[in-house]
Amino acid sequence: MKALLMDTTFCVACRGCQVACKQWNQLPAEQTVFFVGGGYQNPPHRSSETWNLITFNEVSRQDTLDWAFGRRQCNHCLEPACVSACPVAALTKSPEGPVCYDESRCIGCRYCQVVCPFNAPRFEWGKRDPEIRKCTLCVDRLALGQEPACSQSCSSNALIFGDRDELLEMARTRIAKRPDRYVSHIYGEHEVGGTCVLYLSKVPFEQMGFTTGLPNTPFSQEVHRAMAAIPFALSGTALALGALYWIINRRLESFKEDTEEQS
């Protein structure tokens, strides 16, 4: 299975991956501002037109301020909760790694947005016929034997594309050789069952805004149980509404009969 390793200690925040992502996927430019509250992150958040975002995080290290550059995109979970939640199979997990989206199937329920632990899917709020948008891990490029546009454009080798097992071994080796350079954690190795986008960092991941404290078990297991209960919940609701309708009609009929007798 293919994956990406993001070694944030090598990132120089050139945003070349952001540009390459937009260029390959023909995403329009956005009128943006810097991150609200200060800082140099731009745009401040991902959107339906920005799937890949370099984050600027000013952190305190050894009594000095330092930059810790991070990245946000769809992490392409090994067992995606979004795939489990989609009632029409608009989202599927490819054997090669990417979580793929078929807009022709999508009904706009946005269940995928609700269940994603990384807040990856974005909705086209400004369109009359909106769809879900997110990173595809350049599945079309993979089909041609090419690597994703973002990793190919990375000038500092912060983004590395390859087999997931090999990238995990590379990450473990880097941590073991330079414990002074890295925190002893590979983000994405175990989170929610594992992901196809992995991260190394010099500071704790929560300082870069990553969602931490996630379980090692896939969210998809809980989603399966929740989705399985929906038909029963709908049936129960329908029965309750039917019973309420019968009661109201019966009372109206009784009131009508009483009124006719009095007249």
SS3 letters across the chain = CEEEEEEHHHCCCCCHHHHHHHHHHCCCCCCCCCCCCCCCCCCCCCECCECCEEEEEEEEECCEEEEEEEEECCCCECCCHHHHHCCCCCEEECCCCCEEECCCCCCCCCHHHHHCCCCCCEECCCCCCCCEECCCCCHHHHHCCCCCHHHHHCCCCCEEEEEHHHHHHHHHHHHHHCCCCCCCCCECCCHHHCECEEEECCCCHHHHCCCCCCCCCCHHHHHHHHHHHHHHHHHHHHHHHHHHHHHHHHHHHHHHHHHHHHC
In this structure, what token pair is assigned to residue 248? 């109201």
Band of residue 258 on the pLDDT scale cut at 50, 70, 90: low
CA-nearest of 46, 51, 61, 45 to 20 is 51
Q: Are the C-beta atoms of 197 and 75 separated by less than 8 Å?
A: yes
Query: Hey, where are the domains in the chain?
Result: 2-76+138-215
CA-to-CA dists, residue 143 to 29, 82, 139, angstroms: 27, 23, 6
CA-nearest of 2, 4, 8, 54 to 185 is 8
What is the per-residue pLDDT across 109-119, written as a single tens digit (0 to 9) for each? 999 999 999 99
In this structure, what token pair is assigned to residue 112? 């995928």
Q: Are the C-beta atoms of 88 and 63 separated by less than 8 Å?
A: no
CATH dotted code for 2-76+138-215: 3.30.70.20
What is the per-residue pLDDT across 121-133, written as a single tens digit (0 to 9) for each? 999 988 888 899 9
pTM over the 0.95 mark: no
Pick 134 or 62 by higher pLDDT. 134
Q: Does the structure show a pLDDT above 90 at 34?
A: no
What is the per-residue pLDDT across 200-239, written as a single tens digit (0 to 9) for each? 999 999 999 999 999 999 876 666 555 554 454 444 555 5
Lowest mean pLDDT of 18-22, 105-109, 140-144, name the range. Answer: 105-109
